[in-house]
Amino acid sequence: MPLLTLFTTPKPFTNPHIDMIQRNALCAWRSLGEDVRVVMIGDEQGMPEVAREYSLEHLRAVRTNALGTPLVSSIFELGRSFTDSSYLAYVNADIIFFPEVLTAVRQVGSALERFLMVGQRWDLDVQQRLSFEGNWADALRADTRTRGTLHVRAGSDYFIFPRACFTSIPDFSIGRAGWDNWMIYHARTQGWPVVDCTPSLDIIHQNHDYSHLPNAQPHYRLPETGENIRLAGGRRTIFTLDDATHQLKNGQIEPMPRTWSSFWRSVETYPLLKHQNYALTQLLFTLAHPKKAAKERARQREMDLAMAQSKQANGGA
């Protein structure tokens, strides 16, 4: 039985650059060996052919929203039901793992019963098919250190967790903002350690444009992002890597370093995490960040209007 099952929802394989970077990611995952199983979920163009070409599992019967976007809840249900692996991972289809990801899973899994593993990514321009033979990891890591950029701590591109975790997830739209932040928030509400693996894992994100999205807009500007935030419980549930409780460093799980910034963040989120008091958390945020709060309200009104218009255009579904 594989230790880890990676499941993903690729974009259509129609854009030549998207096709290339997704094939790079799939090949990198396959190179991790028999301890890893890879499952593609969805019904996008090109997926059946790629699944057959790489001998990967492919599950097509994913539920979607009214706009045809796959639902995170359905993706996780399919990924979990398909495998008996002790650990599961949702990974964006443009992410490359290095082999040490398995060591990290074993280290965290041997110390903790329930947890969420997340971490920063390195953004890298990749314009060709990559080889995953020989000393590919050393060569790619050196290239990343030379040309890549460490992404800010606001986003998450992979989530590794025991199969007993995240058994119930709202009907978020995949590929839109908000749901990934909710993963960290939910783990915190459950008291599960959120382990930032950045010190131990190099994760590569292959850069791409947004031509695959409606009107080529970034995902955080789409109406479905507003719906994701509503399903998450509001903007105060937008947690980031700065809300991690622990880090994996030199093979050991350590508490995150305490700073004044993390202290005030803990004060700000305490009412929500401990008492589910959203109103008080919002009040504390508004007092501490009045300009940000005003911009958030304006942005939310725009997204609510865009979502209403989108639903009306699709028959009110």
Write down the CATH superfamily of domain 4-236. Spore Coat Polysaccharide Biosynthesis Protein SpsA; Chain A (3.90.550.10)
Which pLDDT belongs to residue 316? 58
Which pLDDT belongs to residue 261? 92
Rounded Cα distance between 245 and 182, Å, is: 15
179: phi > 0 → left, psi -120 to 50 → alpha, else beta; which?
A: alpha
* Mean pLDDT, the chain cut into blocks of 10 residues (317 residues total): 95 96 97 96 96 95 93 96 94 96 98 98 96 94 95 91 96 93 97 97 90 52 82 94 97 96 93 93 90 83 70 63
Domain boundaries, the chain: 4-236
Which pLDDT belongs to residue 221? 56
Over the range 145-167, which residues count as b (16 or more CB within 10 Å of their CB) and which as e?
eeebeebebebbbbbbbbeebbe
Nearest residue to 228 (alpha-carbon basis) of 162, 151, 307, 158: 307
Which pLDDT belongs to residue 218? 52
What's the one-letter identity of residue 107?
Answer: Q
Which neighbouring-strand residues pair with 89? 6, 160
Which pLDDT belongs to residue 317? 53
